[in-house]
Structure 1
Amino acid sequence: MDHAELTTEQVLKRDIPWETYMTTKLITGTCLQLLRRYDNRSESYRAQLLDDDGPAYVRVFVSILRDIFKEETIEYVLALIDEMLTGNPKRARLFHDKSLASEDTYEPFLRLLWKGNWFIQEKSCKILALIVSARPKPQDGIVANGEASNSKQKFTTINDVLKGLVEWLCAQLKKPSHPSRGVPTAINCLAALLKEPLVRSSFVQADGVKLLIPLISPASTQQSIQLLYETCLCVWLLSYYEPAIDYLATSRALARLIDVVKSSTKEKVVRVVVLTLRNLLSKGTFGAQMVDLGLLQIVQSLKAQAWSDEDLLEALNQLEEGLKDNIKKLSSFDKYKQEVLLGHLDWSPMHKDAIFWRENINNFEENDFQILRVLITILDTSSDPRALAVACFDLSQFIQHHPAGRIIVTDLKAKERVMKLMIHENAEVTKNALLCIQRLFLGAKYASFLQA
């Protein structure tokens, strides 16, 4: 059977020759005795053994994973641990029992993330994430395994584990080891681990945020809805971390989140996206972008629906109020700037408003004429005739209203780009390209005359 398709139940049906391992001194007599009591027993009987002597069984399992390299046996022990933790996730605390202070309980799982087949990798990831999340927080002199500083033995530290996990998770998101389960497994694990500050930091440093963006898209099947939910959960956790917010601001994340919240009917998905948007609202230019993308109308539509979650209703109310405040605060130039930076050019009133150009012409000098440069880039890259026409018109307005407009636009090499558009198939584009060229060559007065 393909190892990638193995199940825990199938693996646990194997007969492992524990006596042979004892004969070859790969396990001790005590290990053999414990395994005989535990192996092939009912779930309730095993649960009692774990209640009575859990740390001893953890010691046996970890020592086998450390000392035995036969794949079938590794799979079997991982299946035993997986069954143990699935039955009661709180048993992950057993790996941090004081009696195991001299055991490196992290190392075997971290090593197996990279060494084994998909079954081994998947189980190691799941188990390691649970063990890490269950570790006691340092207090009263108690430290989790791997954090002791007075040991001469080289232990795998919690930092090693978290960084190793992030490295493996990013590798799965880039090139999954399993075609259908690699990405969901990585996202599921990531959603559990991003509460850790070090994981957030390592994930952002590994350029992991961009790997999440393509996964933020409306879902149809139950499996894809769960993946979407957990991906959005990751983004929500990252929305509390400034360096991640900086990356989200320069990606397509916001537009994708809004597409999801607009089309999703699953309450848990809507809730996590709305909570994320609420977090981002006050950060940088997110508020202005949300206004530009029409989020207020979407929020008002969502409020009219019947939701059972009070946190969601509260978040929708807060988001609505915040968006209304943003609309009040945005000056006409802020709105214009957002429109240009997002590339969503349309004939909104400010473009043809002479007062807007007179009052804001000096604002175009910000950041070394950033807005002008973006308008010129739109001429090069956009396939939208409306955006091309508006960009040509705005350049002509700048030439008309700025004292050095013709010189600046010429220096930015806009002339060649505009001239190419004079033969565009769209009449609106050619008309505004012609107006821009007239103002470049003839000056504002004559161009106005010709336009008339």
Structure 2
Amino acid sequence: MTVPDVPAAMVNNQFFDEFTDKVRVKPIPWEGYSRAGLISGDDLRELKEYQQAAAAQANREGKDVAQYMGLLVRLTEKLSSIDALQYLLVQVDDIVESGQGGGCGEQLQRVMFRCLEKKDDYLGLKASKILVGAISGSSSAAEAEQRGFAYARLFGYLERCMRSELTSVVDVAVQVMQSALRARRARTVLFGEESAQCLAQLIDVLRRTQQSLMQASGSAPRTRGVVAVPQTQYEVVFCLWLLSFERPIAAALDRRLDVIAITAEIARSAVKEKVVRIVVALWANLLRLAAPANVPAMLVARVPACLATLGAGRSFKDEDLRSDLKQLAEELAEHTGVMTTWDEYLNELASGKLAWSPAHRSEQFWKLHIRRMDEHDHRVVRQLADLLTEPTASETALAVACHDLSQYVRFNPDGKRLLARIGAKARVMALMTTSECPDVRYEALLCVQQIMLNAWRN
């Protein structure tokens, strides 16, 4: 599998582009800086020569461009005026985009990372775009791998941007990350412990897009920092898709961030074909690279039904998308085969995302399968018990787990001894008082009552 070629650092945002155009024509008092000794006379002369050549649209030799690039970086390091720094970074970015930037040297990295610390959103975002473009361009990608480019520092800045109230800042930050994740090492760093908060914030942006859709119908409070919903969804899922090319990440991505459930929700409501296309591409990677880890979650999120609905109910213009939907549905069916209700229950439990599916409320289901819960050293019961202390478990999952343990004791009176031995009884009793969710407290209470009832009967 290969990631298709895209521009080294691509940002397409109307506000960002319009602001860049304004920066280009804003007058900067270079002569005043020279008189004040902030820049040298040679710096001023070289700067004006290049500006005149650019105004005349004259081509400069590669050596001249490299020399001018060095001048721009030096001036960026010397000056502190935001207006001057914005102008210099626009010029640097133009050179990087032209492919004549000369890589991502230590001085360029040092200067651009300092710009990330300035209290100016445009300056920081422009610097981050330059860093990613310089890393990704020509042979500098290999250099960055060898030198250990500070991706974690870059992602820390992008995380702060994604928390912004300004929609344009969020959008540009996501696009910069989208470009950065072309590099394999960037994916590994983003999924690592040091950048965990950045990745979580990326998912938060995705969740906010869904909340924005609910706002349109007046069923949810206003959210912050979300641009045009389809475009933002496409950009964020594109980032997840790039991450999913790494097999270890594909195996852990959903477990950590619940991406299958949220992308299934997005696919069902998406209007734009490109959003559906990138979601399907993400699912395909997750299935092909880490099926055992992701099939249970796909079944819980009803991905097969979603694929069937999209394939039959939508008239997509993209023939490749129609083909991909069919192929993915067939591949997923091969992994699931003919599943019994018990198999579906096991998959749901394995995903850690228990929900109130019909089996949980069915007395017949528990009568039929209660003995199977004790197979393989009571594996199912132990999984339910472990879920009660899982930090990432949802309130619904906790409530359902308490309910299922209650049913286990109801139809297997001796099961109360096992619950006490493995610590499940104590965990359920703790949830009666510590959980903030009424449903969890209620199901925990019923479970404890069932345990006590069986103790009295015995």
For normalisation by structure 2, the TM-score amounts to: 0.74
The equivalent position to 1:357 in structure 2, one of 370, 373, 378, is 370
Q: Is the CA contact (8 Å cut-off) linking 2:267 and 2:275 kept in structure 1?
A: yes
Deviation at 1:272, TM superposition (A): 0.9
Per-residue CA distance 1:389-435 (angstroms, 9 max, x = gap): 655323312x24xxx42312344327868999xxx9xx999999876
1:328 is matched with which residue?
337
Cα RMSD after superposing both structures: 4.1
1:1-20 to 2 correspondences below 5 Å: 7-20=19-32
1:180 is matched with which residue?
167
1:104 is matched with which residue?
107
Matched, 1:413 2:421: no
In 2, Cα distance between equivalents of 1:303 and 1:47: 54
Q: Is the CA contact (8 Å cut-off) linking 1:187 and 1:231 kept in structure 2?
A: yes
1:28-427 to 2 correspondences below 5 Å: 28-39=40-51, 45-46=56-57, 48-49=59-60, 53-82=64-93, 84=94, 90-91=97-98, 93-96=99-102, 104-136=107-139, 144=143, 158-173=147-162, 175-176=163-164, 179-205=166-192, 206-207=195-196, 208-217=198-207, 218=210, 220=213, 223-245=228-250, 246-281=252-287, 282-304=290-312, 305-328=314-337, 333-340=342-349, 341-348=352-359, 352=365, 354-363=367-376, 365-366=378-379, 369-372=382-385, 374=387, 382=396, 392-397=406-411, 399-400=412-413, 404-411=414-421, 412-413=424-425
Q: 1:346 to 1:434 in 2, by over 3 A?
A: farther
| Unmatched tracts of structure 2, length 5 or more | 1-15, 214-225, 434-438
Q: Is the CA contact (8 Å cut-off) linking 1:22 and 1:29 kept in structure 2?
A: yes
In 2, Cα distance between equivalents of 1:375 and 1:115: 45
Q: Is the CA contact (8 Å cut-off) linking 1:393 and 1:436 kept in structure 2?
A: no
Per-residue CA distance 1:3-25 (angstroms, 9 max, x = gap): x9992233333333333444566
| Unmatched tracts of structure 1, length 5 or more | 148-156, 444-452
Local SS of the residue matching 2:316: coil
Q: Is the CA contact (8 Å cut-off) linking 1:110 and 1:161 kept in structure 2?
A: no
Deviation at 1:111, TM superposition (A): 1.4
In 2, Cα distance between equivalents of 1:64 and 1:419: 64
Q: 1:131 to 1:351 in 2, by over 3 A?
A: farther
Q: Is the CA contact (8 Å cut-off) linking 2:260 and 2:301 kept in structure 1?
A: no
Instruction: Give, as a single letter, the amino acid of the residue that structure 2 aligns with 1:58.
Output: M
Q: 1:358 to 1:15 in 2, by over 3 A?
A: closer
**Percentage identity across aligned positions?**
21
Aligned length: 404
Instruction: Give, as a single letter, the amino acid of the residue that structure 1 aligns with 2:333.
Output: K
Instruction: Give, as a single letter, the amino acid of the residue that structure 2 aligns with 1:290.
Output: M
Deviation at 1:267, TM superposition (A): 1.2
Q: 1:171 to 1:381 in 2, by over 3 A?
A: closer
Please, which moves more after superposition, 65-74 or 243-252?
243-252
Deviation at 1:369, TM superposition (A): 1.7
Q: 1:121 to 1:430 in 2, by over 3 A?
A: closer
Instruction: Give, as a single letter, the amino acid of the residue that structure 2 aligns with 1:126.
Output: K
2:456 is matched with which residue?
441
Q: 1:258 to 1:124 in 2, by over 3 A?
A: same
Instruction: Give, as a single letter, the amino acid of the residue that structure 2 aligns with 1:187.
Output: V
In 2, Cα distance between equivalents of 1:90 and 1:9: 16
Local SS of the residue matching 1:323: helix
Q: Is the CA contact (8 Å cut-off) linking 1:65 and 1:108 kept in structure 2?
A: yes
In 1, Cα distance between equivalents of 2:278 and 2:17: 32
Deviation at 1:189, TM superposition (A): 0.8
In 2, Cα distance between equivalents of 1:312 and 1:364: 45
Local SS of the residue matching 1:94: coil
- If you compute each CA radius of gyration, which structure gives the higher value, 1 or 2? 1
Instruction: Give, as a single letter, the amino acid of the residue that structure 1 aligns with 2:259.
Output: A
Instruction: Give, as a single letter, the amino acid of the residue that structure 2 aligns with 1:273.
Output: V
Q: 1:94 to 1:386 in 2, by over 3 A?
A: closer
Question: Which structure ranks higher in relative contact order (CA pairs < 8 Å, sequence separation ≥ 6)?
Answer: 2
Instruction: Give, as a single letter, the amino acid of the residue that structure 1 aligns with 2:406.
Output: C
